Amino acid sequence: MRHWTKLGEAPVPGSDVVLSLYRGKDDFHISVSGGGELMSTRRYGSEEALGRIPCQRLREAGSARVLVGGLGMGFTLAAVLAAVGPEAEVTVAELVPEVVDWNRGALGEPSGRPLDDPRTRVHVGDVAGLFSRRVGYFDVIVLDVDNGPDGLTQSANDRLYTMQGIMAAQQALTSRGILAYWSAGQDRAFHDRLRRCGLMVEEVVVHAHGKKGARHFIWLASR
C-alpha cells in the first residue's frame, strides 16, 4: 500500500476549495477537496506537450515571449523553457501563492526547478489580469487553468473559456501568436467557440504518460 505524507494545504482564492500537497516515496501529487487527485508527478506527459508543441511552431523561438497560465507542478513551464532560446522571456501566472512556494521547495525537483531559470518571471494572481496589461505582447499563451473548459475548482475560471475570455487572450498575442489550451476531456462546444472568435483551430490528442494513460486534449488557435 502506497504511503503518502501531507506536506501542506492551500485555499484557492475566491472559492471554498482547498488544495493539498502530498509526497510519496518517489513522487508527489496535489489533490482538491472533494475531488480527489488533481495532478501528479507520475503523469505529466500532456502538460509537457502543452508547453512544447506551440513553442516548436514559432518562427523565432529564440527570443519568444511566452505566458503560461497555471504553474501546477512546473512541467508545462519547464517544457516551454526547453523549447525557447536564451533570450526568451517566460511569464508564469499562478493564482495560488502556496503553489509557487511548493514549487520553490521540494516539489520543484521533478520538473527540474524551472522557477530558478533566469528567463522565468512569476506573476502571483489571475492570468486574465495580464491580458489587458500586455496587449500584442506574447508570442505564445498556454493555458492549463482549472482542468480546462470544464472547470473543477472554481466557476470564476470559466470566463477564460468564454468568447469574451478567448478574445481577451487573443488581444495579448502578437499578430502571429498562438493560443494553446489544455483540457482533461474533449469539448466540441469550446472548439467551435474558438472558431467563432475568428481563429484557426487544431485539436491535438496527447496522453498523460508518454503513449499511455488517459487521453487529454490541446487546442492550438491562431489568426
Whether residue 12 lies inside any domain: the answer is no
Whether residue 6 lies inside any domain: the answer is no
User: Taking 70 as the threshold, does the pLDDT of residue 150 lie above it?
Assistant: no
CATH number at residue 168: 3.40.50.150
The domain total for the chain is: 1
Whether residue 27 lies inside any domain: the answer is no
At 162, list the grid cell: 468564454
Whether residue 84 lies inside any domain: the answer is yes
Whether residue 29 lies inside any domain: the answer is no
- Per-residue model confidence as pLDDT tens digits over 1-47: 678 999 999 999 988 999 999 999 889 999 999 768 889 999 899 99
**pLDDT attached to residue 209:** 77
Q: Which residue has the higher pLDDT, 156 or 103?
A: 103
At 53, list the grid cell: 508543441
Contact 136, 173 (CB under 8 A): yes
- As a whole number, the mean pLDDT across the chain is 93
* C-alpha span between 112 and 167 (Å, rounded): 33
* C-alpha span between 113 and 14 (Å, rounded): 28
Range of the domain at 177: 42-222
Give the E-state strand segments of 56-167 in sequence order.
Answer: 65-69, 89-94, 120-124, 138-143
Contact 17, 32 (CB under 8 A): yes
Q: What is the pTM of this model?
A: 0.94
Whether residue 15 lies inside any domain: the answer is no
User: Taking 80 as the threshold, does the pLDDT of residue 149 lie above it?
Assistant: yes
CB half-sphere exposure, 179, CA atoms < 13 A:
27
- Per-residue model confidence as pLDDT tens digits over 174-218: 999 999 999 988 899 999 999 999 999 999 999 987 778 889 999
